[in-house]
């Protein structure tokens, strides 16, 4: 099943990673990926990347700021660059990234078609829908600007994407994992991890089921009627919550999108959400109409809460220890090289360290 495995909220930081650090991050990310795939398989690496706590720890080990928004974009970039050239050997592929790079995700997935055991169309759809859910179906004030899609040869995938809220100066990271059948629009959250609270419009909550169904039905109505109902709602005195949702809805700007939806006659909310041009304002308008015309309740539950080697880029908890960092890279590289030759002693030593506990005093 498809599940959103968690979210994390991080302060919005600006600036670039020093070249000397990013080069090391690429090498260490490559070594960690090789060891993980060698020991546990590509699917296990996807599971770990989809865990918001493991991902945060990974970023910290790579030497980035432990609480900065940049840990998401830089860690994903280091992994993508780190495994470049090893994709076929690992059976693991990384697509997307920050800004304009994220929009190239479908093309990057399709470019791997010959190497995959499944058609790439399903992966492209999963990438697009994960972004749509977090940007349009879950309206929590964060605009998606980073989207990394990691997948294996068999068609398993995970998503690490991030949205920005310039008003609060926070970024929110979203993690997704798929292993079997997809269900994008009903309670995709399996874990939640952040302190930032709000009143988002949550159309993927279980309690929004009726609103999802009604929204799809409304999208099949003639646009002129929908626009008329929206204008009527704007003249009514509504509760403060609805006032917030109506504030930036302009019916005249939705006419083209409503017409496109009407022509396609979406059978359900997932198909509606997947239509070209259907974004946050279209979903907000239809959800309001669904509640106020059909009495279908909306959910305003925020699905996110926050929690949570080598030092950090900004000196927290201490400046990056370059000699120790380089020794870590060499140790992992040597261990994976020997393991490929059948000499697994060093990897077995790492495995024993993972379960070692100091003796009690």
Classified as helix, coil or strand, 11 is strand
| DSSP-derived 3-state class of residue 271 | helix
User: What is the mean pLDDT of the segment spanning 254-277?
Assistant: 93
Q: By mean pLDDT, which of 13-17, 161-165, 350-354 is the weakest?
A: 350-354
Averaged pLDDT score across all residues of the chain: 80
Instruction: Name the packing angle between helices 19-40 and 70-82 (round to 10°).
Output: 70
pLDDT of residue 16: 74
Residue 359 clears pLDDT 50, i.e. is over it? no
- What is the band of 1 on the pLDDT scale with cuts at 50, 70, 90? low
pLDDT greater than 70 at residue 187: no
State the pLDDT at residue 226.
93
- For 195-244, the pLDDT digits (tens) are 455 567 888 888 889 999 999 999 999 999 999 988 888 776 666 666 65
Per-residue confidence (pLDDT) for residue 221, from 0 to 100: 94
Q: pLDDT band at 298, cuts 50/70/90?
A: confident
**What is the mean predicted confidence (pLDDT) over 257-268?**
94
Residues 339-348: contacts with CB under 8 Å, at least 24 apart: 339/38, 340/38, 347/35, 347/38, 347/39
With cut-offs at 50, 70 and 90, classify the pLDDT of residue 10: low
Instruction: Tally Cβ neighbours within 10 Å of residue 115.
Output: 12
Token code pair at residue 285: 């308008």
Which is higher by pLDDT, 212 or 299? 212
Average pLDDT (254-272) is 93
Would you state the pLDDT for residue 193?
A: 43
In DSSP notation, 34-99 reads HHHHHHH-HHHHHHHHTSHHHHHHHHHHTT--TT-THHHHHHHHHHHHHTTTTHHHHTEEEEEEEG
* Residue 190 banded pLDDT, cuts 50, 70, 90: very low
- Please give the structure tokens belonging to residue 314: 């900004």
Q: Decide if pLDDT at 357 tops 50.
A: no
pLDDT at position 122 is 95
pLDDT of residue 299: 80
Q: Can you give the residue ranges of every domain in the chain?
A: 2-198, 206-294
pLDDT of amino acid 305: 37
Tokens of 358: 């100091």
Nearest CA to 159 out of 218, 102, 117 is that of 102
- Closest alpha carbon to 139 in 257, 15, 60, 245: 245
Q: What percent of the chain lies above the pLDDT cut of 90?
A: 41
Burial class (CB in 10 A: 0-12, 13-18, 19+), 213: middle
Rounded average pLDDT over 136-161:
93
87 compared with 297, residue with greater pLDDT: 87
Helices (H), the chain: 19-40, 42-49, 52-61, 70-82, 87-90, 105-110, 121-132, 209-218, 223-235, 240-246, 251-264, 269-274, 280-294, 322-340, 345-355
Q: What local confidence, expressed as pLDDT, does residue 335 receive?
A: 74
Tens-place pLDDT, residues 53-105: 888 888 888 876 655 678 889 999 999 999 999 999 999 999 999 999 999 99
In this prediction, residue 29 carries a pLDDT of 93
Q: Tell me the pLDDT band of 309, cut-offs 50, 70 and 90.
A: very low
Q: CB burial class (10 A; 0-12, 13-18, 19+) of residue 195?
A: exposed
Q: Give pLDDT, residue 90.
A: 96
Q: Using CA atoms, how far apart are residues 144 and 135, in angstroms rounded to an integer?
A: 6
For residues 359 and 133, the model is more confident at 133
322-340 vs 19-40: helix crossing angle, rounded to 10: 30
- Name the more confident of 51 and 119: 119
């Amino acid at each position: 099943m498809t599940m959103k495995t968690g979210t994390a909220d991080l302060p919005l930081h600006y600036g670039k990673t020093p070249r000397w650090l990013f080069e090391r991050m690429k090498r260490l990310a490559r070594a960690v990926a090789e060891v993980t795939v060698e020991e546990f398989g590509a699917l296990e690496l996807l599971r770990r990347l989809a865990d918001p706590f493991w991902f945060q720890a990974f970023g910290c080990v790579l030497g980035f700021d432990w609480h900065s928004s940049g840990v998401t974009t830089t860690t994903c970039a280091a992994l993508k660059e780190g495994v470049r050239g090893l994709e076929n050997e690992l059976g693991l592929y990384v697509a997307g990234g920050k800004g304009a790079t994220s929009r190239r995700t479908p093309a990057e997935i399709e470019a791997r078609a010959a190497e995959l055991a499944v058609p790439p169309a399903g992966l492209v759809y999963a990438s697009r829908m994960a972004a749509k859910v977090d940007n349009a179906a879950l309206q929590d004030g964060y605009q998606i600007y980073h989207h990394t899609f990691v997948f294996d040869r068999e068609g398993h995938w995970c998503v690490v994407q991030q949205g920005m809220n310039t008003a609060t100066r926070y970024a929110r990271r979203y993690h997704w994992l798929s292993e079997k059948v997809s269900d994008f629009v009903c309670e995709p959250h399996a874990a939640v991890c952040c302190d930032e609270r709000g009143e988002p419009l949550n159309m993927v909550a279980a309690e929004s089921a009726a609103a999802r169904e009604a929204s799809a039905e409304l999208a099949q109505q003639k646009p002129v009627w929908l626009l008329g109902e929206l204008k009527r709602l704007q003249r009514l005195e509504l509760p403060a919550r609805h006032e917030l949702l109506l504030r930036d809805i302009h019916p005249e700007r939705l006419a083209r999108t409503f017409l496109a939806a009407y022509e396609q006659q979406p059978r359900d909310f997932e198909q509606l959400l997947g239509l070209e041009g259907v974004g946050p304002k279209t979903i907000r308008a239809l959800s309001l109409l669904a509640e106020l015309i059909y009495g279908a309740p909306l959910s305003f539950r925020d699905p996110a809460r926050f929690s949570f080697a080598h030092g950090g880029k900004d000196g927290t908890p201490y400046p990056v220890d370059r000699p120790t960092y380089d020794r870590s890279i060499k140790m992992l590289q040597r261990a994976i090289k020997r393991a490929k030759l059948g000499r697994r002693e060093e990897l077995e030593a790492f495995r024993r360290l993972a379960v070692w506990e100091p003796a009690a005093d």
